[in-house]
Amino acid sequence: MMENAIAWIFIFPLFGSVFCALLGMANRKVCYPISVLSMVGAFWAGVETLMQAVGSSSHEVSYIFGGWTLDSYPRGVGIEFRADLLGALITLVVLGVGLLVSIYSKLPTEEETPGKEPLFHSLFLLQITGLAGICLTGDAFNLYVLIEVAALTGYGLIAIGSNRAAAATFNYVILGTIGASLYLLGVGYVYITTGTLNMVGIHDAIMAPESKLAASASMQVAFVLICLGILIKMAFFPFHAWLPNAYCHAPTTTSCLLAPLVTKVMIYVMIRIVLTAFGVDFSFESTLWAKVLPWLVVVAIVSAAVMALAQREIKRMLAYLIVAEVGYMVGGVWVYNYYGMIGSIFHIISDACMTLCLFLGAGLILRKCKTTNFDGLRGLFSKMPLTMTGFFIGGFSIIGLPPTCGFFSKWYLITGAMVSERWEYLLALLFSTMVMVVLFFRMIERIHLAVSESGENLGKGHGDLGLTDEQTRFSEGPLTMLVPLLLAAGVVLVIGIYNQDVVNQIEIFLDNLPHDADLPKEAVGK
């Protein structure tokens, strides 16, 4: 059965979602088990797919839906799901995050959106279907469809919360639609010029011996439109305006699912478009875009970091951090070398894990303290030590302290910046690292110290936090919420420690790019 694991990744959540919607009408209680079970199934299929991809000689697994063939010129019209190492890795991240969040979702959904569980869980599973599909599809138009599947369910998942969430969603809908339209327009150009929608086919067409496509204006326009569309979708500064409000006002589970995945998957799409569809030479050499974007990245990272500094509330702060991290990853791609690319891909994985950690932690804090405002954090460590440990591991990873995975992705990004001598990008990275140090240790201070915001001592000295015993007594969150957090924190450490195994797979992927296109490895000045 597992020969077609790649299809099962898609089928489990898709049908799970249908069952949730149908059976949920009869009994709301069945939604949660269905949701968790379909995620378990999908996760298993994801692991299987990755194993197959690692095991196969071509390092990829392919599946063509509906019996179409790829024989016609240049690579057919059928929908092909291709899991190469990159796709399989990112899919596994999506499914892993989805699995943990689905376990986590039980209480927050019941408490925050009572009565809407069937709706929520079916949207949730559809969202996973869309995101996993994005990572697997090998077809540029199919990609658009799946992006919209993910986006539309995302709008629903956010708007399901409070009234303010609905307003935030509206903002998101407008920007999201603009982004998707730009992308679709770009794909249209590509189809007209190359006659195919299959990504490998597009690349074949560009690289064909007598092809003049690389120099053609329509391809350039297509490329810029596609990139622009994706940048809007991934909340790249200055197109980030939809993100903070959407993630802040969304229900807890929604923000836990969307924050780690949506932006990261869009980065994946960008890498996929650059490496597989347009190819290295075209993307980095032929367009003006490649000269402008690195500077936009610097602006993006610095401004997002500064805005994160101004926040007084955990979820908002994290939202701006995500915007900064998006800048990291885009920058890693566009420094145009081997290490930067490894850094970006690895950062997709590690950033998904650490953002998950932080949002799961923030959800637990919110549930216990009824606020995620900084000022309500005092004494939280004695109250929920495990939650805070998990949260801090995520925070250390964002800062980039070894041996968390955040250190290693940042290491490769910095190395990438050095190899291409992109000093401005390096400085932006270091600047935002320092901002993150400030952000997280400011929180640690709030939790740990008996000092008010204005610097007055609270309590009676000797570590007295000025709180009642009731407020500091040990009282952890429920296990369905705590266990996913601790697992996520564990994953952050494990990926850090076994980073070499992940990086090896990424390296195999990069070494086997089509048409032997290689990213530069050697340092410029060497």
Partner 1 sequence: MTDPLIIEDIRPFLAFLVPLVGVFGIAWAGDGRENLRETFTFIAAVLQATIVLSMVPTVLGGAIFEYHVWQIFTNVPLLLRVDGPGLLFASVASVLWIATTLYAIGYMRGLHEHAQTRFYSYFAISLSATMGVAFSANLLTIYFFYEMLSVSTFPLVTHMQDKEARTGGRTYLGYLLFTSLCLLLPALSWCYVWLDGGQVTMDFLGDTGKVGAFGPTAQIILLLLFTFGFAKAGIMPFHSWLPGAMVAPTPVSALLHAVAVVKVGVFCLYRVYADLFGFDVLRSLSGEHWMIVIACVTILISSLIALSQDNLKRRLAFSTIGQLGYVALGVTLATEKGAGGSVLHIAMHACGKITLFFCAGAIFVATGKKYVSELRGLGRKMPITMGAFMIGSLSVIGLPPLGGFVSKWYLALGALDRDALWVVVVLLVSSLLNVFYLLPVAVTAFFRTEETDKDSGIKEAPWPCVVPLALTALGCFVLFFLSGPLLRLAGIGE
Residues of this chain that interact with partner 1 (CB under 8 A) are: 339, 396, 399-403, 410-411, 414-415, 418-419, 426, 430, 433-434, 437, 441, 444-445, 448-451, 455-457, 461-465, 497, 499-500, 503-504, 523, 526
Distance in Å, CB of 513 to partner 1, minimum: 20
Q: Is the peptide bond before 403 cis (omega within 30 degrees of 0)?
A: yes
Q: Which is nearer to partner 1, 402 or 490 (CB)?
A: 402
Distance in Å, CB of 425 to partner 1, minimum: 12
Rounded Cα distance, 232 and 238, in Å: 9
Distance in Å, CB of 401 to partner 1, minimum: 5
Q: Which is nearer to partner 1, 68 or 423 (CB)?
A: 423
Q: Which is nearer to partner 1, 207 or 497 (CB)?
A: 497
Q: Which is nearer to partner 1, 182 or 428 (CB)?
A: 428
Q: Which is nearer to partner 1, 188 or 459 (CB)?
A: 459
Distance in Å, CB of 441 to partner 1, minimum: 6
Is residue 402 exposed (0-12), middle (13-18) or buried (19+ Cβ within 10 Å)?
Answer: middle
Q: Which is nearer to partner 1, 370 or 462 (CB)?
A: 462
DSSP H or E run through 60: strand 60-64
Distance in Å, CB of 458 to partner 1, minimum: 9
Among residues 258, 230, 229, 226, the alpha carbon closest in space to that of 244 is found at 258
Q: Computed from CA positions of residues 424, 426, 427, 428, in that sequence, does the dihedral angle turn out positive or negative?
A: positive
DSSP H or E run through 154: helix 140-159
Q: Which is nearer to partner 1, 55 or 455 (CB)?
A: 455
CB atoms within 10 A of CB 460: 10
Exposure of 105 in the CB half-sphere (CA atoms within 13 A): 34
162: its two tokens:
């409070």
Distance in Å, CB of 436 to partner 1, minimum: 9
Q: Which is nearer to partner 1, 163 or 454 (CB)?
A: 454
User: CB–CB of 286/221 below 8 Å?
Assistant: no
Among residues 401, 386, 408, the alpha carbon closest in space to that of 441 is found at 401
Among residues 375, 103, 292, 72, the alpha carbon closest in space to that of 201 is found at 72
CB atoms within 10 A of CB 111: 11
Q: Which is nearer to partner 1, 116 or 448 (CB)?
A: 448
- Our CA angle for 147, 151, 155, nearest 5°, is 175
**Cross-strand partners of 62:** 82
DSSP H or E run through 201: helix 199-207
Q: Which is nearer to partner 1, 11 or 309 (CB)?
A: 309
Distance in Å, CB of 220 to partner 1, minimum: 32
Q: Which is nearer to partner 1, 215 or 523 (CB)?
A: 523
398: its two tokens:
């964002």
Q: Which is nearer to partner 1, 261 or 419 (CB)?
A: 419
Dump the DSSP string for 260-328: HHHHHHHHHHHHHIIIIII-HHIIIII-THHHHHHHHHHHHHHHHHHHHHT--BHHHHHHHHHHHHHHH
Distance in Å, CB of 265 to partner 1, minimum: 27
Rounded Cα distance, 84 and 54, in Å: 9
Residues in the chain: 526
Distance in Å, CB of 385 to partner 1, minimum: 10
Name the residue type at position 200: V
Distance in Å, CB of 428 to partner 1, minimum: 12
Distance in Å, CB of 350 to partner 1, minimum: 15
- Tell me whether strands 80-84 and 60-64 are parallel, antiparallel or unpaired: antiparallel
Rounded Cα distance, 321 and 329, in Å: 12
Distance in Å, CB of 38 to partner 1, minimum: 36
Distance in Å, CB of 500 to partner 1, minimum: 6
Dump the DSSP string for 28-46: GGGHHHHHHHHHHHHHHHH
Name the residue type at position 311: Q
Rounded Cα distance, 447 and 442, in Å: 9
Q: Which is nearer to partner 1, 283 or 499 (CB)?
A: 499
CB atoms within 10 A of CB 462: 6
